Amino acid sequence: MSRKQQVPRPGSDLGDDDTGCPILHVDMDAFFASVELRERPELAGAPVIIGAPGARGVVLSATYEARRFGVHSAMPMTRARRLCPQAVIIPPSRGKYTEVSRRVMEIFHEITPEVEPIASDEAFLDVAGARKRLGRPAAIAAMIRARVAAEHGITCSVGVASTKFVAKLASQHCKPDGLLVVPAAKAVEFLHPLPVAALWGVGERTERSLARLGIRSVGDLARTPVETLRRELGPAAGTHLAALAWGRDERRVTPHAPDKSIGAEETFVTDIEDPVRIRREILRLSERVAARLRAGGHAGRTVIVKLRRADFTTLSRSRTLREPTDVAQELYAAACDLYAASGLENTALRLVGVRVENLLPADEVARQLSLGERESGWREAERAMDRAARRFGRDVVLPASLVPPPFDGMDP
């Protein structure tokens, strides 16, 4: 069963009743690709794919022209090229996307403090408090679309609804460059024709379980007794899906939702067996993760190493530190110990990752040094590197072991 959902768009963009619909879901259209096309207008209308061009690269973004050939994000680049051999491949420029994302989010915060980013290219807004100043939710949505286009040269789609769940579905169904209001009174009418896969929490396995019960649409699920769903899917999942099928979603827009973890990983162009090179990559990733921790004002206690063999089997190992840290050298030491204890030191690996969990606000973490213990100096050194990176770029100051050779087998 195809997971692509087709649904009629009720009413006109601004003509529908948006009473009781304070929730907006704003989603940038093909965000990374759109940012690149601002500087390459000659590619407008062409199939464009953003991703590392290496054999093991994956698609990060694709224009709608490329998507018509079946290309989608997270697809291996080799498959994307087979599906759309005429596509223009552009390597990603992550710093550029981060900056545009930051500026777009600033537009949202000028409208309301109730902004919940859920990715670099999408966010929920609760505009109930902005109505008196800026007008109806649908008018605010139209204003957002106009400002994003005028100020940043990219388009976005906006769903307007009474709940987060319905607002997100609305933005999906008016892409690209659209605005869709789902009136509170028409939410059930909007939902029930949809395939059951539209519901949050319905993956392929759950979809198969529901199909065995003859449930293929949201309306089918809504008409199924809750006890049947609980028995088939479990109490929590059954209750959750029954509520969504009737448009009930009690979740509020939560500004500044705390990060649960911060990590980075790298897929090698060719499998690497040399422990020295693996440790060098662990240091590179530890530096990246520590910089992100400090940039977000976090420190973390649990260090996790992810190791993927050439046959795609993946092993993860974790260690909880005595004290939270945002220092790369401390993350690196723990990660190397985990790598050594994994039994994979002389095994060919295709991917290595480092992640930190159990995050705390850095300004609330008081480092209690033992009597006579002295600071190592790494924190001060790394903060100095942060300042240099902000001014001159991340690669200006590096640990000596990370100064790259002419070719080290990594994706560009």
121 annotated ligand binder: yes
Count the Cβ atoms, other than its own, within 10 Å of residue 225. 10
349-361 β-sheet, strand order: 261-272, 349-361, 298-309, 314-325
Measure CA 44 to chain center. 26
d(CA 20, CA 209): 35
As given in the structure block, the two tokens for residue 283 are 């240091």
State how far the Cα of 291 lies from the Cα of 382, in Å rounded to an integer: 8
DSSP 129-141: GGHHHH--HHHHH
DSSP states of 226-240:
HHHHHHHH-HHHHHH
Q: Whose CA is closest to 264, among 352, 324, 361? A: 352
Concerning whether 357 is annotated as a catalytic residue, the answer is no
Contacts of 55 by beta carbon, 8 Å cutoff, 6+ apart: 77, 78, 269
**What token pair was written down for 50?**
């953003």
| Rounded distance between C-alpha atoms, residue 317 and residue 342, angstroms | 7
Which residue in 116, 122, 281, 330 is the catalytic one? 122
Interatomic CA distance for residues 277 and 87, integer angstroms? 34
| Tally of CA atoms within 13 A in the half-sphere of 303 that contains its CB | 26
DSSP state letters, 245-300: HTT---PPP-TTPPPSEEEEEEEEEEEE--HHHHHHHHHHHHHHHHHHHHHTTEEE
Q: How many angstroms separate the CA atoms of 172 and 227, rounded?
A: 31
Of the CA atoms within 13 Å of residue 308, those in its CB half-sphere come to 13
What is the largest distance, in Å, between two alpha-carbon atoms of the chain? 72
- Choose among 25, 19, 92: nearest CA to 412: 92
HSE on the CB side for 122, CA within 13 Å? 17
Q: Annotated binding residues, as ranges? A: 27, 121
Q: Annotated binding residues for Mg(2+), as ranges? A: 27, 121
Q: Please list the active-site residues.
A: 122
